[in-house]
Amino acid sequence: MVALPALFGILWRRFGRPGRDLYGELRQGAVLLMAIGCVFNSFFVDHTEGLFFAWVISAAFASKGLGGSHETC
């Protein structure tokens, strides 16, 4: 019962960094879409919505704007 709201809260806070850009707002919009959808229906049980969420979150963490180091050595 606590894990799903915690997941959404962590992602919301992580994507809402200072100096936000359009992509940051789109990331937060995807998290908000899933949070609202999970209130009324279990989106993670449906194949399409779960795949959409996994794809958007993985693409968001792979982007350059999250402050990760891109050096291999």
Structure confidence by residue, pLDDT tens digits, 14-28 = 887 766 677 778 888
Q: What is the per-residue pLDDT for 57?
A: 83
The residue assigned the tokens 């792979």 is 62
Q: What is the per-residue pLDDT for 73?
A: 45
Mean pLDDT, residues 47-69 taken together:
74
Q: Per-residue pLDDT for 13 more than 80?
A: yes
Domain span at residue 51 reads 25-59
Per-residue confidence band for 6, with pLDDT thresholds at 50, 70 and 90: very high
Does a structural domain hold residue 43? yes
Q: What is the per-residue pLDDT for 67?
A: 52
Alpha-carbon gap, residue 51 to 11, rounded angstroms: 17
Alpha-carbon gap, residue 8 to 69, rounded angstroms: 24
Whole-number average pLDDT of the chain = 78
Domain count, the chain: 1
Does a structural domain hold residue 13? no
